[in-house]
Chains A and B, each alone.
Chain A
Amino acid sequence: MGMGWYVARRVAWAGVVTFVILTITFVLLDAAPNAGLAQVQFQAAQSGQSAEAAAEAFRARRGLQGPLWERYLDYLTNLASGDWGWSDTRSQPVSEAILTAIPYSMMYGAPSIVLSTIIGMGIGLYSAVHQYERSDYVATLAAFFGVSIPNFWFGIVLLLVFSVQLNWFPVLFDAQIATNRTFSLANLHQLVLPIVVLMTSALAGNARYARAEALEYVQAEFVKTARAKGATGWRMLTRHILRPTLVPLSTLLVGDLLGLILTASYLIEVVFGIPGLGFLSYQAIINQDTALVLGTTLIPVFIAVIGNLLQDIAYTVLDPRISYGDR
C-alpha cells in the first residue's frame, strides 16, 4: 500500500471527522441557552413590551425558527453549494468574515512562528552543546520566563511601556494599514509588539524542546562516530544532531501552526485590537452566531486533520526508516 492510498484515506477520513464535529457543534449551539435572547426579552419586558414577541423577532432575525433538523439540513445543503451562511452578528457572509480575518492573524502569527522556530531551535541546540555552561543557564532562564509569563499581561505591559510611555509603537492596530500596505514598514511597526508577545512563549517552548531532544543525540554513538570521522562544528550540529532532533520537533511545529489557526492567539488579538481569526471565533461563540461558529470550526477541524497527515508525511522525509506500508 503506497503513500497515495494512505493519503487518500486520511483525507476522506478528515471529511468524516469534520462532519461529525460540525453536527455536534450545531446541536450543542442549539441546546445552549441563548444569551442574546434572554437579554432581548428582558429589555422588552422592562420597556413595557411583550417579551414573547421580542423573542420571536429575535429568532427570526437569527434564523432560529423551525425544527433543528430542518435548519441543519438547510445549512448542509447550502454548504455543499459553497454557501457558508450569513453572519447575523456581523451582517456579512461567513466566508467573507473568515477570509477577512485570516490575513490579520497570519500577519503576526506567521512571522512569530518562523522567528520562534529558528531562534528557539538555535538557542536549544546551542544550550545542548553548551550544557551547564553560563550561557545555557541564561537561555534556560529566558525560556522559563517566556513560558511562564501570561501573554495577556505581557502584552499590556509592553503597550504601557513602549507605546504609552516611550511612544515607540502605536497602541492600536490599524486594519487599513494592514490591508492596504501589508508589506510596509508602517505595518511592521504596528506588528512588532504582537509578534514579540506571541514569539516569546513559542520561542521558549521551542528552545526547551530542542535542547531536550538534542541532548539525546549530543553523546549518541553516531555523533561520536561522525566526530571521529572529522565532522566538526556547524556540520555536525546541522547534519548529525539537528536532523534526528527534528523528527519529534516536527510535531511541535505542526502544533504551532494549528495553535495559530485554531485559536489564533485570541488574547493577543484582544489586547492589540487585531480583528483576526481568534477574535472572530471567540466573538462568534459568545454571540452564538451559529453560521459563523460552524464556519470558524470547519476550517481548523479540517486543517487539524490535514496537519496531522502532513506531520506523518514529514516523518518519512526526516526519518527514512519510517514507511507507510503497514498503515
Chain B
Amino acid sequence: MPALRFPNRRRFLQTLGVSGAAAALAGCSGGGGSGDSTSTAGGGGGGTEASGGGTTEATATSGGGNASTEGGNASEETQQSGGQRTVGGNYIAGSSTDAQTLNFIQVSDVPSSNRIGLALDSAYAITTENEVFPLWLDLESGPDNRVYTANLRDNLQWGGDYGQMTAEDWVYMIKNVYQTEDNWAAYSNRGDWQREGEFIPVEKTGKLSFEIRLPNPDPAFPLKPILWGAFCMPKGLLEQYVPDKDLEGLQQDEEISTLAYSGNLGPYSFERWDREAAFVATRNDDYYMRDASDVPAAWQGAPYFDQYTYRVIGEQSTRLSALQANEITTTAIPSTQVSQFEGSDDTSVVVAPQPFCSQLIYNRRANSVFAEGFRSTAVRRALAYAVDKQLILENILNGYGNVAHTFQPQFSDFYDDSQVEQFGVGDTFSMEQARSELQSALGDTPYAYEGGQVVNENGNQVTLTLVYTTGSQTTETTCKYFKQQFEKLGFAVSLTAVRFNTLLDKYVTNSPTNGNFGDEEGDWSAGPFNAGERTDSVSPEQWDMMYGIVFNTYPRTPTSTDVFWQRETSTNFFGYYPEANLNELYSRASTATDQQTRQQALASIFGALSKEQANLFTNMGVDIIGYQPNVVGPDETFGFGWDDNIWYFDEA
C-alpha cells in the first residue's frame, strides 16, 4: 500500500484516498498490508507514488534514512536534552515513482508533496493524538467553531528577497490563486476553499494573523485538508503571474521549480533533482524551529539527518534488494515479502494502521444482473455470512491488516463496538446460515433458490461478474476466494481483471446515456461517479461485484465519508440507498459542537452501515515499512510520521 507520508501533510492522505493500498498501479504493491488494492494516487504512478501507482512512495516517506551516509558526514552533538540525538547521515527513502512538479499549487500526487515537504514545513501538523502541532502557524478556534484565526510565527523568512512570511502572503495567495472563479492557476484543490458553492471568506487581521470565517460551525476544520499541511508562496513571487493569469509562467518559474523561496521554512534545503533518479535535500542550518520556544526541545535541533534523499527505484525487487544491501534507509514492503525481513538484524519492520478499507462492492444499478438482490438488505446480510474474513486476513494477507466490519477502523474514536454488527468471523461465518438466510431473503426479489442454485425470473442460474484490478496477487487470490464462496451459495461467478484506470473509466463512472432503462426517477447528478438514480444511470460496462479499490475512511474526520453512503453524493457509484437516515446523522455530526454528540451520530452511522451491510467490508489495511535498524522514530501508530523531523540515526 502506498503509503502516506506524513500526517503533517494531510493532503497526502486525501490524495491516496481511494486507494489504499496499493500501489498496485505501478506494479509495486508496495507496502502495506493491503498493498494489494489499487489506489487512485498515482501511480503512477503513480503512485503512484500510487499508484502506483504508486505509492510505495507514501511509504517511502515514512521514513527512511540511510546510515550509510555518502561521504561520512561528521556528527554534531546537538543541544538535545538527554544528548541522545546527533546530526548525521543521509536518510534515503526508496520510492517507486518520481515527483511531477515542485509547484505545490498544482500538485496532485504524493511523491511531489513529499519532496516539497522537505523544504517547506507547512502550516501545522496533526499529532497521533489528533492535536494541532504548530509549525509555521497556530490555529485558534473561535467560541462557535466557525471563525478560525491563524497566527504566524514571527521568525519565518522567505528565501531570496521576499523577506518575512506574513499574513499578507497567505491572504494574497488564497484570494488570488485558490479562490478565483476561473481557477487560472489550475489549483488542484480549489474545492477545499469553498463551502456550499461559495468561497470561504479569509481576511488579514494583523501582520501575522488572518481569519477564516466558515459559513457554519465546523469543529473538525483543523483536521481537514485545508490549512493542515498547507504550503504558502511569497506574495512578491506570485505577483509576477497573478495580474496576467500567467499559468505557463507559473509552471516554469525557476524559483518555484527549485524551491528557492523556501528560506528558513523547512528542515532541509533543496539541493538537486535528478529526474527519475534522485531528489536530494540538505540540512537547513537556518531552520526556524531553532528559535521556537513552544515546542519540545528535540525540535530545536532538528533535523537530525545531514541529507534527505528520495531515490526512484521503479522495480519493487530492486527496492527491496537495496534495503537489504543497506543502500537505502527505508521502503515499503509488500505483505507477500515481509517474511524475508522479519527477524532480520539488518532491517526493522514497522506495521502501522492505515485508514483504507477494502470491501466487496455490490452494484445496485440497473446494469447488474442481480441488482434487485443487492438492493435488499436481507440479501446482503445473508451474503455476509458466506465470507470468512479471518481467513482472508490470515491466509491471503499473511496476517497484515485488521478485519473490518464497517467503514471505520476500530482505533477510530467514532467506532462503537456496541453498535457495529459483525459478520464473517467466528460463528457469524456459516455457509449454512448464509444459504438459509439467502433463501428466505430472495422471497422478496425476482430471484429464487432452486436446486441449490440462485436463479432469475427465467429460471436460469444467476451469473455474477466480479471485476477487480490487476497488479496484485493478493487481490486476485481474494477474488478467487469470493468466487468459490459465492458458487457454494448457488451463484455462478465470472472474474474480470482490468487495469485500475479501466476500472474507473468503464465500471465506476456512470451516466444515464449508457442505457435506456425507462425508469428515470429524477434528473439530479452528483458528478460522473453518481450521475443519477440507480435505475437510470449505469456504467459503460456491466458488472455485479467489484474488489481492489479501497476507500479512505477518514478516521479523523469521518463526516467526510458521507460522499460514499448517501443517495445523491459524489462517490456512491454502486447505487447504495441507505435505510437508516444517514443524511440526518451526517448533518448532525458535521455541525455538532460537542464531541459526544458527534461521536454518537457517527457511531450510529457506522453501526447502520454494518447492519445494512452496505458493502461487504473485509479488512482495514496497514502500512508495512522496512527501515535500517538504526533509525529512531518510527512507531506503529496511525499517523506516525508527523514528527519525522526529529527522527535520527542511533549512533550506538
Chain A residues within an 8 Å CB radius of B501: 33, 35, 38-39
Q: Are B311 and A46 in contact (CB under 8 A)?
A: no
Binds A, one of B323-331, B444-452, B577-585: B323-331
Chain B 236-274 interface mask (CB, 8 Å, partner A; 1/0) = 000000000001100110000100000000000000001
Q: Are A52 and B563 in contact (CB under 8 A)?
A: no
CA A159 to CA B324, docked complex, whole Å: 11
Cβ-based interface call for A249 (8 A): no
Cβ-based interface call for B79 (8 A): no
Chain A 159-187 interface mask (CB, 8 Å, partner B; 1/0) = 11001100100111101100100000000
A89 contact from B100, B311, B328, B562, Cβ within 8 A:
B100
CA A88 to CA B257, docked complex, whole Å: 12
Q: Are A156 and B17 in contact (CB under 8 A)?
A: no
B108 contact from A53, A58, A179, A272, Cβ within 8 A:
A58
Chain B residues within an 8 Å CB radius of A271: 315, 317-318
The smallest beta-carbon distance between B353 and chain A, in angstroms, is: 20
Chain B residues within an 8 Å CB radius of A283: 276
Chain B residues within an 8 Å CB radius of A170: 325, 327
If A89-B100, A172-B313 touch, whether A61 touches B106 (CB-CB below 8 Å) is yes
Chain A 60-100 interface mask (CB, 8 Å, partner B; 1/0) = 11000000000000000000000000101111100001001
Binds B, one of A195-203, A219-227, A273-281: A273-281
Chain A residues within an 8 Å CB radius of B248: 86
Q: Give the interface SS of chain A, mostly helix, strand, loop or mixed.
A: helix
The smallest beta-carbon distance between A63 and chain B, in angstroms, is: 9
Cβ-based interface call for B45 (8 A): yes
Q: Are B275 and A164 in contact (CB under 8 A)?
A: no
The smallest beta-carbon distance between A60 and chain B, in angstroms, is: 4
Using a CB-CB cutoff of 8 Å, which residues 555-595 of chain B contact chain A?
560, 562-564, 570-571
Chain A residues within an 8 Å CB radius of B645: none
Using a CB-CB cutoff of 8 Å, which residues 6-63 of chain A contact chain B?
33, 35, 38-54, 56-58, 60-61
Q: Are B528 and A91 in contact (CB under 8 A)?
A: no
Cβ-based interface call for A308 (8 A): no
Chain B residues bordering chain A, tally (CB within 8 A): 67
Q: Are B325 and A167 in contact (CB under 8 A)?
A: yes
Q: Are A172 and B275 in contact (CB under 8 A)?
A: no
Cβ-based interface call for A192 (8 A): no
Using a CB-CB cutoff of 8 Å, which residues 521-551 of chain B contact chain A?
527-529, 551
Using a CB-CB cutoff of 8 Å, which residues 459-506 of chain B contact chain A?
501-502, 504-505
Cβ-based interface call for B295 (8 A): no
CA A43 to CA B47, docked complex, whole Å: 13
The smallest beta-carbon distance between B306 and chain A, in angstroms, is: 16
CA A90 to CA B570, docked complex, whole Å: 31
Q: Are A275 and B45 in contact (CB under 8 A)?
A: no
Q: Are B317 and A156 in contact (CB under 8 A)?
A: yes
Chain B residues within an 8 Å CB radius of A3: none
Q: Are B108 and A49 in contact (CB under 8 A)?
A: no
The smallest beta-carbon distance between A301 and chain B, in angstroms, is: 23
If A45-B527, A60-B186, A175-B274 touch, whether A273 touches B313 (CB-CB below 8 Å) is yes
CA A50 to CA B247, docked complex, whole Å: 21
Q: Are A43 and B18 in contact (CB under 8 A)?
A: yes
CA A167 to CA B327, docked complex, whole Å: 11
Q: Are B321 and A43 in contact (CB under 8 A)?
A: no
Chain A residues within an 8 Å CB radius of B106: 61
CA A283 to CA B25, docked complex, whole Å: 13
Using a CB-CB cutoff of 8 Å, which residues 303-355 of chain B contact chain A?
311-315, 317-318, 321-322, 324-325, 327-328
Cβ-based interface call for B432 (8 A): no
If A50-B527, A86-B251 touch, whether A42 touches B18 (CB-CB below 8 Å) is yes
Q: Are A273 and B103 in contact (CB under 8 A)?
A: no
B564 contact from A35, A46, A86, Cβ within 8 A:
A46
Cβ-based interface call for A286 (8 A): yes
Q: Are B278 and A175 in contact (CB under 8 A)?
A: yes
Cβ-based interface call for A287 (8 A): yes
Binds A, one of B189-197, B199-207, B608-616, B624-632: B189-197
Cβ-based interface call for B390 (8 A): no
Cβ-based interface call for B217 (8 A): no
CA A58 to CA B257, docked complex, whole Å: 19
Q: Are A40 and B108 in contact (CB under 8 A)?
A: yes
Chain B 108-150 interface mask (CB, 8 Å, partner A; 1/0) = 1000000000000000000000000000000000000000000
The smallest beta-carbon distance between A106 and chain B, in angstroms, is: 16
If A46-B17, A49-B192 touch, whether A175 touches B321 (CB-CB below 8 Å) is no
Cβ-based interface call for B41 (8 A): yes
Q: Are A91 and B101 in contact (CB under 8 A)?
A: yes
Chain A 245-285 interface mask (CB, 8 Å, partner B; 1/0) = 00000000000000000000000001111010001100100
Q: Are B252 and A86 in contact (CB under 8 A)?
A: yes
Q: Are A273 and B318 in contact (CB under 8 A)?
A: yes
B315 contact from A97, A164, A273, A287, Cβ within 8 A:
A273
Q: A46-B551, A279-B276 are in contact. List 16 more A-B contacts (CB 8 A).
A: A38-B505, A42-B504, A42-B508, A43-B17, A48-B570, A57-B186, A60-B247, A88-B101, A89-B100, A156-B315, A163-B321, A173-B277, A175-B278, A273-B277, A273-B315, A275-B276
4 smallest beta-carbon distances between A and B, as pairs: A49-B191, A35-B501, A275-B276, A175-B277
Query: Can you list 5 pairs linking A and B with CB atoms under 8 Å apart?
Result: A39-B42, A40-B188, A52-B527, A275-B276, A287-B100
